[in-house]
Structure 1
């Protein structure tokens, strides 16, 4: 195999695809993002200085390709998805009339160490899968990838007020799902 793109695909393809799929929630878009990444890497291979691993370099390119795909997708989908608004959890579901938690949240030990726990990552992924696709993408971009708000709004074609409202709803829904160990059937 003398073609670097084939070597990169063979060595890093699974990691790139999993990374893209977790953010895009669409197998076809994830494949497209990986293909675009490999093409861009091939075109810019002479600029790779070797200051990071090839995988880190490819994931850096992939992040921008994902944002490009989200922008392109938003360009073709101008009508807001009403299902996003109907599939979130409201305050009434979280608190009792007296203002107490409706369901006691699970006690966390040390969040920084728990985040490294593979089971927690799987639970977070399962809970994110219950969110509407665009809401999950927004949460990944803004909260987990720490993308700037302006960039996220531009990528998804939403206003900053809409972004913060969707993030609020996503956090509420994820809080319920995580506190119940991902077992709440009403969120799916």
Structure 2
């Protein structure tokens, strides 16, 4: 079964949403979708028709995303910005290292928050504020459900470094969501 260029365009928006959810960069997401189309058109006969065209294109996009994240992981290094996040995290704990008096806030109705489009907008804004390396590790673990070992191998980092990056990302996200969603204020 041969794929033609005009058959690809109706899938652009779905692929773009998929890529945007996994990347922090809209331009990069557009580029990867375009690369997906190019790859599909370079080997149009590789689509056997055993699955839907959208499924086949998403599979190509997943490989493009992994390649991009590998490149990004090699290019990113810890920056002073990531160290600055620790000052915000310190406010969560008391002098003994335990949760402060108020601790994490409870979600009143988590199911309704997860269905709220405004929540996801705030979530995206909060995740874009994370240091790039922490955000990448968070995305690989929590969004793409990769195992720690796979992340470490892909990004060439140790398991303890990976854990630190995940911790920082989760705490950064928590602080931002508490301030901008649960506190019912808009993002700074």
Q: How much has 1:100 moved relative to structure 2?
A: 4.6
Q: Which residue of 1 aligns with 2:145?
A: 146
Q: Which one is further off, 167-176 or 19-28?
A: 19-28
Q: Could you tell me how far apart the structure 1 residues matched to 2:87 and 2:151 are?
A: 23
In structure 2, the residue corresponding to 1:16 is in which secondary structure? Answer: helix
Structure 1 CA distance for aligned equivalents of residues 47 and 115 of structure 2: 30
Task: Provide TM-score, normalisation by structure 1.
Answer: 0.76
Contact 1:135 1:170 in 2 (8 A): yes
Q: Are 2:79 and 1:81 equivalent residues in the alignment?
A: yes
* Structure 2: gaps of 5 or more residues: none
Structure 1 residue 52: Cα displacement: 4.4
**How far apart are the structure 1 equivalents of 2:129 and 2:101?**
20
Give the number of equivalent residue pairs. 184
Aligned-residue CA RMSD (Å)? 3.2
TM-score scaled by structure 2? 0.76
Verify: 1:95 aligned to 2:93, yes or no: yes
CA contact (8 A) 2:20 2:29 kept: yes
Q: Which has the higher contact order (CA 8 A, sep 6+)?
A: 1
Deviation at 1:122?
1.8
Please give the alpha-carbon distance, in whole angstroms, between the structure 2 residues aligned to 1:74 and 1:55. Answer: 28
Query: Structure 1: 5+ residue runs without aligned partners?
Result: none
Q: What CA distance in whole angstroms lies between the structure 2 residues aligned with 1:93 and 1:51? A: 54
